[in-house]
Amino acid sequence: MLILSIDTSADDTCAAVLKDNNILTNIQSSQIDFHNEWGGIVPMIARRSHEEKIDIVVNKALKQARLLPTDIDFVAVTYGPGLAIALEVGIKYAKEFSAKYNKRLIAVNHVAGHIYANFAQNSKGKPIVNIKFPLIALVVSGGHTEFVLMKDHLKFEKIGETLDDAAGEAYDKVARMLGFGYPGGPYIEEIAKSGDPKAYKFPRPMEKSGDLNLSFSGLKTAVLYKVQKLETTGDLNKTEIANIAASFQEAVIDILVQKAKKAVEKYQIDQLIVGGGVIANLTLRSRFRKEFKNINFHCPTLPKLYTDNAAMIGIVGYYKALKGDFIEKIENLDRDPVLSL
């Protein structure tokens, strides 16, 4: 199966080509420079930029795979969750491509994509990592932080989620408080390297809640108060900024590890996979590897599969195609900004 996949759910214009779930090309055109100026994604800028780039990005994905549009068997496109006016661009393009070349269309949930980034295969069609069902998937991105129980392919049961901010959103907000750009995660990770993670004991909200839900809003507020206090006394220097970043990061990782442990214990499951932009964080991945060394723990094998990309959408597309799950009437496909798993 040759699959063309497209994702325009946020600020990156993404297209990929896969042969089954083996990634041939994975092209991503970032808009970070535009949004950095504003401290976050500006929907109208995102839309315009997607419109300008989508054709170029798709053609690049095909060309680098040495394929023509006619070679493609199916088109997979993200239809939610995400920014409505950004999603529309990818969906419109996918519909036009499907109609023009008479290809079937597959609608993909972006969050499922982050989970399926773990199911990429190598060029010999062998799984890169061996993952069995049932498993627990943790998605930690800019828009989502949730635990999902999967008993089989494409069977998602949400067993816990954040009640307020997503982990990535907390990173972005704290980065902003400390005077860094967008997205905040990479800035915090970098500055935290020179800080002391034990300098400040920030709260771990819902530690004792007994369920698998999470919360990052109280942590974010505690960081804000600390920043304001140090600003008032004139002590918000580089050392303190690094200490705050490291202590904040330590709290986020503690919260995620603690709840992930609770999830595998509660469901007696020895398979844990993680996905989403926040796992680009090396400190977080190392800590997970250490804490879950006795079970089958995996994160995507290629860094390009952590943050938003279209290859992960193509992998979901592959499994949906195996089940014959295609869009019946392509004109009926519409974006769903609040789509849930």
Instruction: Write out the residues near ligand KG4 by the rule CB under 6 A.
Output: 10, 114, 141-143, 168-169, 171-172, 183-186, 189, 276-278, 280-281, 307-308
Q: Minimum distance from CB of 171 to ligand KG4 (Å)? A: 4
Q: Minimum distance from CB of 83 to ligand KG4 (Å)? A: 10
Amino acid, res. 289: R
Complex with ligand KG4: residue 186 or 218, whichever CB lies closer? 186
Q: Please state, in angstroms and rounded to a whole number, the distance separating the CA atoms of residues 180 and 333.
A: 39
Size of the site for Zn ion (CB under 5 A): 2
User: Contact with Zn ion (CB under 5 A): which of 80, 241, 308, 341?
Assistant: 308
Closest listed residue to residue 94, CA positions, set 53, 55, 46, 60: 55
Tokens of 265: 């214990």
Peptide bond into 300 cis (omega under 30): no
How far is the CA of 136 from the CAs of 29, 219, 297, in angstroms?
31, 25, 10
Complex with ligand KG4: residue 276 or 314, whichever CB lies closer? 276
User: Contact with Zn ion (CB under 5 A): which of 26, 98, 141, 271?
Assistant: 141
Residue 21 binding: pick among ligand KG4, Zn ion, none (C-beta 5-8 Å cut-off by kind): none
Complex with Zn ion: residue 9 or 247, whichever CB lies closer? 9
Q: What share of the chain is helix, strand, coil (3-state, %, to 5)?
A: 45, 20, 35
Q: Please state, in angstroms and rounded to a whole number, the distance separating the CA atoms of residues 214 and 264.
A: 15
Beta strands in the chain (DSSP E): 2-7, 13-19, 22-29, 74-80, 104-109, 135-140, 145-150, 156-161, 271-275, 296-298
Complex with ligand KG4: residue 321 or 339, whichever CB lies closer? 339
Q: Minimum distance from CB of 114 to ligand KG4 (Å)? A: 6
In this chain, which stretch among 127-135, 141-149, 158-166, 220-228 interacts with Zn ion, using CB under 5 A?
Answer: 141-149
Q: Minimum distance from CB of 303 to Zn ion (Å)? A: 14
In this chain, which stretch among 95-103, 133-141, 185-193, 242-250 interacts with Zn ion, using CB under 5 A?
Answer: 133-141
DSSP class of residue 220 equals: H
Complex with ligand KG4: residue 57 or 278, whichever CB lies closer? 278
Complex with ligand KG4: residue 278 or 333, whichever CB lies closer? 278
DSSP-H helix ranges across 25-148: 32-36, 43-64, 84-101, 110-116
Q: Minimum distance from CB of 182 to ligand KG4 (Å)? A: 8
Q: Minimum distance from CB of 103 to ligand KG4 (Å)? A: 26
Q: Which residues pair with 23 in a beta bridge?
A: 18
Tell me if 12 contacts Zn ion by CB under 5 A.
no
Residue 278 binding: pick among ligand KG4, Zn ion, none (C-beta 5-8 Å cut-off by kind): ligand KG4
Tokens of 287: 């800590």
Q: Minimum distance from CB of 196 to Zn ion (Å)? A: 31
In this chain, which stretch among 35-43, 135-143, 297-305, 323-331 interacts with Zn ion, using CB under 5 A?
Answer: 135-143
Q: Please state, in angstroms and rounded to a whole number, the distance separating the CA atoms of residues 282 and 88.
A: 33
Q: Please state, in angstroms and rounded to a whole number, the distance separating the CA atoms of residues 247 and 33.
A: 28
Q: Which residues bind Zn ion (CB under 5 A)?
A: 141, 308
